[in-house]
Amino acid sequence: MRKFWIQFHRISGLILLVPLLLQSISGSIIVFDHAIDEWLNPSLIVTHLPKEKLAALPLIRAATINALPDIDYIKSLRAPRNQHAAYTAFVQMKKTSPLYAKKMEIMIHPYTAEVLSIREWGSYFTSFIYLFHYTFLLGHNAELTLGFLAILMLVNVFVGIYYGWPRSTKAWKWLVAKNQKITPTVGRLRRAHMLAGLISLPVFTVVIISGISLIFPNQTKWLLDRPAKLNPPIQQQNNPSVDEDLWLKSAKNYWPDKQWQRINFPTQQRPAVEIRLTDASDPRKTSGSNMLWIDPYTNEVIAQQSYQPLTVRQKTAFWLFPLHNGEAFGLTGRIIIFISGLLTTLLSIAGGWLWYKRKFRPQRNQQQQKTMKLNLKEP
């Protein structure tokens, strides 16, 4: 049985080698996607901070609607992440537009309501890496394939830890290189592979499990009993809807200790305003786990879902994505995930090179010895 599982670890590791390398490198990049995007596009950074307050949300909405021709409606508006960041709006284009079915992103200056950029999500570097990380740019089927490969990876990790765990003091000293004996290349590769695996095990396990949950969201929702998103009915009126600032004022009055992060604007399918909010206990710092639904005409709160009263099982569903990218623990969490990605890269390279050394080096040596013998026999 031991021989079978060791062979399983090697063969499955070879199958996973290239996908794991690509996933670890792309994952390490998108941990700091916003910072990298702003570094590559400094025009997105708000450098001059005027003494005036933020621009009124009706101005932000008007700037977004007028940024492109043939915008049908605004799908969502995201609050600036900090005082140097812009508003981010995603819009739905009309069917007659050549941009229809494309995910268009519009960045708005938070103080002047000036349009800073208009981009298709997935076309600029960090969004391209993000899309590549989840689908390898091959669509939904590739996403599902990645999910099953992640399950295989989880089994592979546990098999590797079980059979590679040092079971003696001597083995531990060899692993941490405390003995002074000269170790051959294969031994050094094996040591690097095992050390990288042991060091990154806790984080690696969390990242794999959370990644699997993101690829299979429906199954995860069922397993963790995550509350379904509400869609309260709205009585349509001839009067125009109230200003967006009043929506936020109602949300602040309802939950004074929470800060809004996203507004999902009303549509025909979902006529209520949906506002996502976060607080100190919320793992989703940039998206929010608390939701309010507001009547866009009367400005009344008509439904809510709070993170606090949920069971531990239900709260786990809201932790999965923030754990996957480290957001749950702020900058420290993101750095840990970044380092884990680098260790995974080392783990993959060391494991692949170790297999190569063991598989082909003896054959090469034997072939070289045969060639030398033949040369010696020649007159």
DSSP 170-221: HHHHHHTT-S-SPPPHHHHHHHHHHHHHHHHHHHHHHHHHHHHHHHSHHHHH
Task: Write down how long the chain is.
Answer: 379
**Closest CA relative to residue 267, chosen from 76, 116, 46, 9:** 76
282 pLDDT higher than 90? yes
Query: According to the model, what pLDDT value does residue 363 have?
Result: 55
Domain ranges of the chain: 1-37+149-223+325-361, 42-123, 244-309
Q: How many Å apart are CA 317 and CA 366, to the nearest integer?
A: 56
- By CB neighbour count within 10 A (0-12 exposed, 13-18 middle, 19+ buried), where does 18 fall? exposed
SS3 of residue 42 by DSSP: helix
Vertex 313 angle, CA 309 and 316, to 5°:
90
Q: How far is CA 152 from the centre of its chain?
A: 20
Give the mean pLDDT of the chain.
88
- Could you tell me the two tokens for 362? 């003896």
Q: What is the pLDDT of residues 240-254, one digit of tens each?
A: 788 899 999 999 999
**pLDDT class of 176 with cuts at 50, 70, 90:** confident
> Quick one: average pLDDT of 136-165?
89
**Closest CA relative to residue 15, chosen from 112, 123, 151:** 151
375 pLDDT higher than 50? no
Q: What is the pLDDT of residues 59-117, one digit of tens each?
A: 999 999 999 999 999 999 999 999 899 999 999 999 999 999 999 999 999 999 999 99
| % of the chain at pLDDT higher than 70 | 92
Query: According to the model, what pLDDT value does residue 367 have?
Result: 54
> Quick one: average pLDDT of 199-212?
91
Q: How many Å apart are CA 326 and CA 309, to the nearest integer?
A: 24
| CATH architecture type of domain 42-123 | Roll (3.10)
**pLDDT class of 288 with cuts at 50, 70, 90:** very high
Q: What is the pLDDT of residues 16-74, one digit of tens each?
A: 989 999 999 999 999 999 999 999 999 999 887 777 788 999 999 999 999 999 999 99
Compute the radius of gyration of the chain from its Cα atoms: 27
- Could you tell me the two tokens for 134? 């989840």
Name residue 339's amino acid. Answer: I
Torsion of CA 68, 73, 75, 80, to 10 degrees: 50
For the ranges 80-89, 111-120, 322-331, 360-369, which has the lowest average pLDDT? Answer: 360-369
**Closest CA relative to residue 46, chosen from 136, 142, 144, 114:** 114
Query: According to the model, what pLDDT value does residue 374 have?
Result: 40
Q: Are 214 and 317 in contact (CB under 8 A)?
A: no
Q: What is the pLDDT of residues 253-263, one digit of tens each?
A: 999 999 999 99
Helix (H) or strand (E) segment spanning residue 359: helix 330-377
pTM of the model: 0.85
